[in-house]
Amino acid sequence: MPTEFELIDRFLKPFARKGAGVVIGPGDDCAVLRPSPGADLCVTTDAVVEGVHFTSAFFSDADIGHKALAVNLSDLAAMGARPRWFVCSVACPPEALARLPAIARGMARLAAKSAIMLAGGNFARADALSLHITAFGEVARGEALTRSRARPKDRIYVTGTFGDAALGLALRSIGRKPGAAVAARQLRPEPRLKMGLLARGFARAAIDVSDGLVQDLGHVAEASGVGIRIDAQKVPTSRTFGDLAANRDLALTGGEDYELVLFVPPARAVAFERACKQAREQVTLIGEATKKPGIELLNAPQLAHTGFDHFGGPASRPRGRARRPKG
């Protein structure tokens, strides 16, 4: 069996060794990072656990590494932050040690693509494999896109399409194999980093959709003290989704889309759409914020539940006074 130290060596190999703002990287008591002058630091932590967030029946090791980082990058995207550094705490059973280099390669590929640097980490023995990542991004002082600044009449835009990740899961649960495009949405989500940066000049509030569109819209409504009205028919879905899904429920409530929802003041909407077009980024207007509290779904049947809750199962109603320490 490799020692903890050999293991760390192997895990580190696929990652870049030097990066901007890294004064001291892996190998000391702490990493030492040098934030940009005047920048605010956006910090998020998220975990993926074997048997809960992934199984090796469906995920390759490289997929696991990709996804563990991607879910954190998606949170940075939702703040409009530029990715800088991350640390990774690995819990691993001895029999899974041999998988770590492949996991690291999947993670390192996305890290390189996203210009984020591994600054440190930790390995601990455990009965199940899990990866806990804390990622850091930067925004100019005061410019982070929060959930709490949406105002009535703000236009609600979304990136990409919804429901494919949940569709893939549903197909698998009935023994059918999803096609490559649908599978990729679940295995290798692409954080909308470019869109987050672009939106910073236009949007007033943002969130990434990880627990279902309607539920995550509810978080913005609550944090901003506004209502939400969306047209369910306008929520964009992929062609495959249209072909296979009998109704749009999964697009409204399915988890793991990792798309962004952006609240843009009416006066900036035209310029925003133009900027997206120039950048070849797809956005779709699906509704607007309102004064009246609550979530109003036009053209939608009554939903059985609004999204995913990690312990309570499907959440049965829009959240009340919940606070989420996704940070």
Contact 212, 252 (CB under 8 A): yes
> What whole-number distance in Å separates Cα of residue 220 and Cα of residue 205?
8
Q: Strands 130-140, 227-231: parallel, antiparallel or unpaired by DSSP?
A: unpaired
Near a copy of itself in 128-167, by CB under 8 A: 128, 130, 132, 134, 136-137, 139, 141-142, 144, 146-148
> What whole-number distance in Å separates Cα of residue 212 and Cα of residue 219?
11
Cβ proximity to a copy of itself, 20 vs 52, nearer residue: 52
Chain-centroid distance of CA 42 in Å reads 14
Q: Is 326 a residue that touches a copy of itself (CB under 8 A)?
A: yes
Per-residue DSSP letter, 198: H
Contact 159, 272 (CB under 8 A): no
Sign of the four-CA dihedral 242, 244, 245, 250: negative
Using CB under 8 A, pick the residue from 16, 19, 53, 236 that binds a copy of itself: 53
Cβ proximity to a copy of itself, 232 vs 315, nearer residue: 315
Using CB under 8 A, pick the residue from 112, 115, 122, 296 that binds a copy of itself: 122
Using CB under 8 A, pick the residue from 79, 104, 230, 283 that binds a copy of itself: 79
Cβ proximity to a copy of itself, 302 vs 311, nearer residue: 311
Using CB under 8 A, pick the residue from 16, 19, 47, 56 that binds a copy of itself: 47
Using CB under 8 A, pick the residue from 18, 37, 246, 267 that binds a copy of itself: 37
CB of 30 to a copy of itself, least distance (A): 4
For tokens 């569709």, what's the residue? 167
Near a copy of itself in 80-109, by CB under 8 A: 81, 85, 87-89, 91, 94, 97
Region of 75-83, 102-110, 153-161, 264-272 interacting with a copy of itself (CB under 8 A): 75-83
Using CB under 8 A, pick the residue from 1, 180, 246, 304 that binds a copy of itself: 1
CB of 138 to a copy of itself, least distance (A): 10
Region of 120-128, 266-274, 279-287, 290-298 interacting with a copy of itself (CB under 8 A): 120-128
> What whole-number distance in Å separates Cα of residue 106 and Cα of residue 109?
5
Sign of the four-CA dihedral 102, 103, 104, 110: positive
Region of 72-80, 168-176, 184-192, 274-282 interacting with a copy of itself (CB under 8 A): 72-80
Cβ proximity to a copy of itself, 150 vs 245, nearer residue: 150
Near a copy of itself in 192-221, by CB under 8 A: 206-208
Helix (H) or strand (E) holding 133: strand 130-140
> What whole-number distance in Å separates Cα of residue 149 and Cα of residue 115?
28
> What whole-number distance in Å separates Cα of residue 110 and Cα of residue 72?
12
Near a copy of itself in 226-285, by CB under 8 A: none
Which backbone phi and psi does 270 adopt, to 5 degrees?
Answer: -65, -45
Cβ proximity to a copy of itself, 125 vs 176, nearer residue: 125
Region of 76-84, 185-193, 285-293, 298-306 interacting with a copy of itself (CB under 8 A): 76-84
C-alpha distances out from residue 55 to 27, 48, 174, Å: 31, 10, 16
Among residues 245, 218, 231, which one has the least CA distance to residue 164? 245
Near a copy of itself in 3-32, by CB under 8 A: 3-9, 11-12, 23-32
Beta strands in 234-290 (DSSP E): 259-264, 283-290
